[in-house]
């Protein structure tokens, strides 16, 4: 399925943010630089800038995610936007047609931005494509806040912000992504971002049953042994193990998974000195990560959250200017 | 059941908006004129005016309706009001008494406006009546956002705005309302508005089982044949067919309904040239309307949505001044 | 279980509001005095002051309560804060660990205040303790909006505001709390507040099965007879009887309860002249209170609601300054 869609306008500016795949390196750095200017805003006494004043941001959550919705809501409010939350039960909008009728309606209310979360891969693309086909009417920007197994670009960007913040130069790094890569939109977004930013060695570690095919063609080194894969890496990105996997046929048990792939201090000692530990949240402590690591000195998991607000403010403000 | 209630204060100003029935023609035109001044606001870069700054608008939705709630929320926010959404499960407020206790509480919080959606006809009247009986305390304005089968006045007003926008003069028009008139609060509001505004010929088209008695006494011409009813009309308002009707005893099947009353290009050709097609949304494509018509040149369905925001801003700002 | 936690910082200022137990008398009066200055704000045309502009207030409701959430939301918005509502299903956060991970995440978003409602006693304490242990990061203030059977301090404070408003001096009063004291966090907060403010006679009235042990040690006089307990009191606080109690083993029936402990005009006549009647809401008319009393001249139940907004504004603005 080709999920490509021109995210950039004819001047090369960001018109929608749908996926990191295909984003030019300079544009990613521009987003990260803009985010850097917003990190201070959330530290101030009055955490607000008027960049989106009088704009209407709609959080369209076809899949429930309080955490992600909150990050976008707070980012939009700190930009002074008016935010409307819509939790749309997909059971009542099963037909693709009625999804687009919903979109037509919200566009007609003169929305400025849609933050879209959807259980089906490609839904934000479909929406962006539909908007761009409207002549004259459609000036709405679409931000993909996670679609199925496909992409979660703002998570990928905040991961890059975090790595750049702690490690500086991307071109000398070894980065390992650990866990359920097969079902992870975060992994997919991170791999595209790391590759684009020139990371020379991207590794993936996990059990065969949770690794998709075609990783080598993406320039990724594949490991099934945690100890081998972690050796000398500068960054470890631990993925969340979905509860349904633990009970499913793909894994023996959560205990067994932890024994082999759970990130412990012991295994982390194999990484390079100063290696940072990341996790997109929410964590399953004792499954994919040990509490001693999650709360340890090398973890930058809460920094990711803080930077995530700034990155979402950056994306929204850049979109609003295009 | 007498659902009349003085919506106007002693100076003839709008104090609540409960129903279009009995609203003076000049007042309807005043609302539409005010709405015209707000259409531009949603087009501006900063879509905000400070008319309701520091006012508290409560969306009291005793019946779930994300779409309608969104239109009122965005209208109130563009007027700079503080908006609080309350989805009130009527299963826990089955007694009339506790409905009024809820209202007393919200009034005591110094609310300024209640936007009320309720499954039971007359609930917004009951609330307005109750508020007007409070001496000294009750300055809250009530807007009916749809009550049972009774009324949906802002929908009626936005329909009138749309007709006036595209057709100009009401006094030379033929307007047909098609479908499930029996269960439709939109139809009832539209008939009152069209009659008040001097439309010389209001028609209703539908199967006998979905037409209420007493239409002729309201000055309406009744048709059961789509082809006869559509002949030479300037405006067609297609009503939504509720899902429960399609499965119920009142109709043979959705397919059969579409065949007889679904608006197709073919049937629409019988109307006057330049006839506009309206629908209150959400549409059942292939049931009451064919996609070719819904997306065709004569459809003004999304204009209705756009004008709906302006009309709701107008109603709220007029109420706030009374 | 010791649920104590330093709510005050080293300067004796309010850092969190977790319980009324242990709050110094002067601090309670300071909160009530500050609330008095906010009563006028909700009466004004523009009901807004900029004291919390650019602050992020998170309503963390682990237990659903539309009414309480609304009072905090409107209070925060009238202080110009940005408010984010999070209804967190505790079924998905069953482990204490993941509660604190949720908190860590929201702190990392640079929250300023958490308004916490939780079905388990002590949850807001746990959260406040956790925040205070974060070095450098945690500047978030916690307001307990009701935790299990333990405390509901803003309700206690608004009750005190109401008593002070109508009765002036606390040191000459007889106050009776009637009903299900055993399960009531409101009763517990009120007893602590009344005792601290120097009320010489605090009474509790109810059936033995609904009275906890240890009341006498708190300085409270216990009555099982309504007629004896009400004699000469200046204030009656009627507690809500939870529906589950009516069907449970602790009570014969709602009718029988009303007969013995329901507040009627007849029983109220035994109190001192000018006795005021309070209720935290929502009321069960005909169970713990008769409609004639609830709507009668001695009831100040809706004043409690009005003062409740001002008291919550006071608490939030005092916390924001510490």
Percent of chain C with pLDDT over 70: 95
Query: Cβ B54–C42 below 8 Å, yes or no?
Result: no
> Residue B254: what pLDDT?
87
Take residue C319 and report the two structure tokens written for it. 């916390």
Assess whether C135 and C234 both reside in one domain.
no
DSSP per residue over B81-113, as a string? -EEEEEE--GGG--SHHHHHHHHHHHHHTT--E
**Residues B97 and B177 grouped into a single domain:** no
Tens of pLDDT, residue by residue over C181-229, are 999 999 999 999 999 999 999 999 999 999 999 999 888 999 999 999 9
**Which residue of chain C is at minimal alpha-carbon distance from B108?**
C306
What is the least distance, in Å, from the CA of A82 to any CA of chain B? 7
Q: Are B215 and B204 in contact (CB under 8 A)?
A: yes
Looking at residue C193, what is its pLDDT?
97
Contact call for B109 and C67, based on CB within 8 A: no
Of C42, C46, C283, the CB nearest to B53: C46
| pLDDT mean for each 10 residues of chain B (322 residues) | 71 94 96 96 89 97 92 98 89 61 95 96 94 80 94 97 97 97 94 97 96 91 97 98 76 89 98 97 94 97 97 98 87
Judge contact between B314 and B34, C-beta under 8 A: yes
Q: Could you tell me how far CA C137 lies from the centroid of its own chain?
A: 29
The number of beta carbons lying within 10 Å of the beta carbon of residue C268 is 20
Q: What pLDDT was estimated at residue A5?
A: 64
Spans in chain A with pLDDT lower than 70: 1-5, 90-97, 135-138
Does C291 sit within 8 Å of B105, measured CB to CB?
Answer: no
Same domain, A175 and A277: yes
The distance of C15 to chain A (nearest Cα, Å) reads 17
Residues 114-143, chain C: which have Cβ within 8 Å of A? Answer: 137
Q: Which domain holds residue C253?
A: 153-305
CA distance to partner chain C, nearest, from residue A166 (Å): 17
Please check whether residue C229 lies inside any domain of the structure.
Answer: yes
Residues C94, C67 contacting (CB under 8 angstroms): no
The answer to whether position B8 is within a domain reads no
Residue A241, token pair as written in the block: 């193990």
CA distance C188 to C196: 12
- C205 class by beta-carbon count within 10 Å (0-12 exposed, 13-18 middle, 19+ buried): buried
CB contact under 8 A, B82 and C283: no
Contacts of A262 by beta carbon, 8 Å cutoff, 6+ apart: A286, A287, A288, A289, A290
* A145 and A210 inside one domain: no
What's the CA gap between B123 and B117, in Å, rounded?
A: 8
Q: Where do we find the tokens 């205990």? A: A255
CA end-to-end span of chain A = 28
- Nearest chain A residue to C88 by CA distance is A66
Q: What is the pLDDT of residue A96?
A: 45
CA distance A129 to chain B (A): 17
Specify if C14 maps to a domain: no
Q: Is the peptide bond before C282 cis (omega within 30 degrees of 0)?
A: yes
Nearest CA in chain C to A82: C82
Structure-block tokens of residue A52 = 């989106």
Contact: A305, C105; criterion CB under 8 Å: yes
List of residues 6+ apart from A173 with CB closer than 8 A: A163, A167, A199, A200, A201, A234, A235
Domain annotation covers residue A70: yes
Q: Strand, coil or helix: what is B286?
A: coil
Flag whether residue A82 sits within 8 Å of chain C, measured between CB atoms: no
C284 and C248 part of one domain: yes
pLDDT at residue B1, as a whole number: 43
pLDDT at C182 (0 to 100): 93
Contacts of B113 (CB under 8 A, 6+ apart): B55, B56, B57, B58, B76, B81, B140, B141, B142, B143, B316, B319, B320
In this complex, which of C78, C302, C308 lies closest to B104 when CB atoms are compared?
Answer: C302
- Which residue's entry shows tokens 């539209």? B190
CB contact under 8 A, B70 and A109: yes
Check CB contact under 8 Å for A105 and B302.
yes
**B216 C-beta neighbours (distance < 10 Å), count:** 10
DSSP H or E run through B157: helix B153-167
- Least Cα distance to C102 among C81, C123, C76, C75 occurs for C123
Please tell me the predicted confidence (pLDDT) of residue B92. 54
Q: Is C305 helix (H, G, I), strand (E, B) or coil?
A: helix
Same-domain status, A84 and A177: no
Asked if C4 reaches chain B (Cβ–Cβ under 8 Å), the answer is: no
CA distance A42 to chain C (A): 6
Residue C96 buriedness (CB in 10 A; 0-12 / 13-18 / 19+)? exposed
| Same domain as C157, residue C60 | no
Distance between CA atoms of residues C58 and B317, nearest Å? 30
The pLDDT, as a whole number, for residue A1 is: 42
Q: Is residue B19 part of a domain?
A: no
Distance CA(B50)–CA(A258), nearest Å, equals 56
**Cβ-nearest to C74 among B53, B84, B102:** B84
Nearest to B59 by CA among B108, B118, B16: B118
Alpha-carbon distance of B253 to C140, in angstroms, equals 59
Contact B113, B83 (CB under 8 A): no
C253 vs B205, residue with greater confidence: B205
Q: Using the beta-carbon criterion (under 8 Å), do B303 and A82 form an inter-chain contact?
A: no
- Is any Cβ of chain C less than 8 angstroms from the Cβ of B322? no
pLDDT of amino acid B94: 43
Which of A36-45, B53-62, C113-122, C255-264 shows the lowest per-residue confidence on average (mean pLDDT)? A36-45
Contact between C291 and C146 under an 8 Å Cβ cutoff? The reply is no
15-54 of A, contacting C, C-beta below 8 A: 42-48
Q: With an 8 Å Cβ cutoff, is C290 touching chain B? A: no
For C142, the enclosing helix (H) or strand (E) is strand C141-147
Tokens encoding A227: 């100890």
In a domain, A4, yes or no: no
**According to the 3-state scheme, what is the secondary structure of chain A?**
CCCCCCCECCCCCECCECCCCCCCHHHHHHHHHHHHHHHCHHHCCCCCCHHHCCCEEEEEECCCCHHHHHHHHHHHHHCCCEEEEEECCHHHCCCHHHHHHHHHHHHHCCCCEEEEEECCCCHHHHHHHHHHHCCCCCCCEEEEEEECCCECHHHHHHHHHHHHHHHCCHHHCEEEEECCCCCCHHHHHHHHHHHHCCCCEEEEECCHHHCCCCCHHHCEEEECCHHHHHCCCCEEEECCCCHHHHHCCCCCCHHHHHHHHCECHHHHCCCCCCCEEECCCCCCECCCECHHHHCCCCECHHHHHHHHHHHHHHHHHHHHHC
C35-73 pLDDT, tens digit per residue, is: 999 998 888 889 999 999 999 999 999 998 889 999 999
Q: Does residue B74 sit within a domain? A: yes
Structural domains in chain B (count): 2
Question: Cβ–Cβ of A74/C56 closer than 8 Å?
Answer: yes
Q: Is the pLDDT of residue C138 over 70?
A: no
Contacting subunits of A (3+ beta carbon pairs below 8 A) = B, C
CA dist A152 and A144 (Å) reads 7
pLDDT digits (tens, 9 = 90+) for A117-135: 999 999 999 999 999 988 6
- Residues A298, A164 share a domain: yes
Contacts B283 to A, Cβ<8 Å: 101
* β-bridge mates for residue B84, sequence order: B58
C84 touches chain A (CB under 8 A): yes
Whether the bond into B282 is cis, omega within 30 of 0:
yes
C-interface mutation test, from B50, B51, B53, B54, most C Cβ less than 10 A away:
B54
With 0-12 CB in 10 A as exposed, 13-18 as middle and 19+ as buried, what is A217? Answer: exposed
Q: How high is the pLDDT of residue C104?
A: 94
| Cβ <8 Å between B84 and C66 | no
C108 shares contact with chain A (CB less than 8 Å) = yes
Asked if the Cβ–Cβ distance from C109 to A78 is below 8 Å, we say no
**C152 and C186 Cβ atoms separated by less than 8 Å:** yes
User: Cis omega (within 30 of 0) on the bond before C312?
Assistant: no
Same domain, A280 and A217: yes
Triad C259, C261, C267: Cα angle to 5°: 85
- Distance from the C224 Cα atom to the nearest Cα atom in chain B, whole angstroms: 29
Mutation for A interface: C82, C86, C89, C111, most A CBs within 10 A? C82
Chain B: residue nearest C40 by CA?
Answer: B110
- DSSP class of residue C179 equals S
Residues in B touching A137 (Cβ below 8 Å): 302
CB distance C56–A47 less than 8 Å?
yes
- Report the CATH number at residue B71: 3.40.50.1370
Are A250 and A210 in contact, with CB atoms under 8 Å apart?
yes
Q: Which of A42, A44, A86, A158 to mutate to test the interface with C (most CBs of C within 10 A)?
A: A42
CB contact under 8 A, B110 and C43: yes
What pLDDT is stored for residue B245 in this prediction? 73
Region C67-96 average pLDDT: 84
A6 within a domain of the structure (yes/no): no
Start-to-end CA span in chain C (Å): 28
Structure tokens of C308? 């409740």
For chain A, how big is the Rg over CA atoms in Å? 19
Mean pLDDT (chain B) is 92
Q: Are residues A169 and A47 in the same domain?
A: no
What span, in angstroms and rounded, lies between the C-alpha atoms of B288 and A266? 66
Report the DSSP beta bridge partners of residue B222. B204
Q: Are residues A299 and A163 in the same domain?
A: yes
pLDDT tens, B203-220? 999 999 999 999 998 889
Mutate to test the interface with C, among A52, A64, A67 (most CBs of C within 10 A): A67
Residues of C whose CB is below 8 A from A73 = 84
Task: For residue A54, list chain B residues with Cβ-Cβ distance below 8 A.
Answer: 44-48, 78
CA nearest neighbour of B288 among B194, B205, B201? B205
Confidence of residue C2 (pLDDT cuts 50, 70, 90): very low
Residue of B nearest to A320 (CA): B45
Other C-beta atoms within 10 Å of B131: how many?
Answer: 22
- Lowest model confidence (mean pLDDT) among A154-163, C134-143, C252-261: C134-143
Inter-chain CB proximity A74 and C55 less than 8 Å = no
How far apart, in Å, are the Cα atoms of B140 and each of A312, B130, C211, C243? 38, 11, 41, 31
Asked if residue C172 and residue C137 are part of one domain, the reply reads no
pLDDT of B263 reads 98
| Residue B109 sits at the chain C interface (C-beta within 8 Å) | yes
């Amino acid at each position: 399925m080709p999920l490509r869609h021109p995210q950039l306008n004819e001047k090369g500016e960001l018109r929608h943010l749908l996926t990191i795949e295909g984003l030019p390196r300079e544009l990613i750095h521009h987003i990260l630089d803009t985010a850097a200017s917003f990190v201070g805003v959330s530290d101030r006494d009055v955490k607000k800038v008027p960049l989106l004043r009088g704009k209407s941001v709609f959080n369209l959550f076809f899949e429930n995610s309080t955490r992600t919705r909150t990050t976008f809501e707070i980012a939009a409010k700190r930009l002074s936007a008016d935010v409307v939350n819509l939790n749309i039960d997909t059971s009542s909008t099963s037909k693709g047609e009625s999804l687009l009728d919903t979109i037509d309606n919200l566009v007609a209310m003169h929305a400025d931005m849609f933050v879209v979360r959807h259980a089906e891969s490609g839904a934000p693309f479909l929406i962006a494509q539909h908007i761009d086909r409207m002549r004259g009417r459609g000036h709405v920007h679409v931000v993909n806040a996670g679609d199925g197994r496909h992409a979660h670009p703002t998570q990928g960007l905040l991961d890059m912000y975090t790595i750049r913040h702690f490690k500086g130069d991307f071109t000398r790094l070894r980065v390992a992504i650990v866990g359920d890569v097969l079902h992870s939109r975060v992994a997919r977004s991170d791999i595209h971002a790391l590759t684009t930013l020139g990371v020379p060695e991207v590794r993936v570690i996990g059990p065969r049953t949770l690794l998709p095919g075609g990783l080598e063609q993406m320039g990724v080194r594949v490991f099934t042994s945690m100890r081998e894969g972690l050796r000398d890496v500068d960054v470890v990105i631990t993925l969340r193990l979905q509860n349904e996997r633990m009970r499913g046929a793909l894994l023996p048990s959560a205990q067994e998974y932890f024994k082999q792939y759970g990130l412990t201090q012991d295994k982390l000692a194999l990484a390079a000195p100063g290696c940072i530990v990341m996790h997109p949240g929410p964590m399953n402590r004792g499954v994919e990560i040990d509490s001693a690591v999650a709360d340890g000195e090398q973890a930058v998991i809460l920094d990711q959250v803080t930077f995530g607000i700034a990155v979402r403010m950056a994306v929204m403000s850049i979109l609003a200017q295009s």
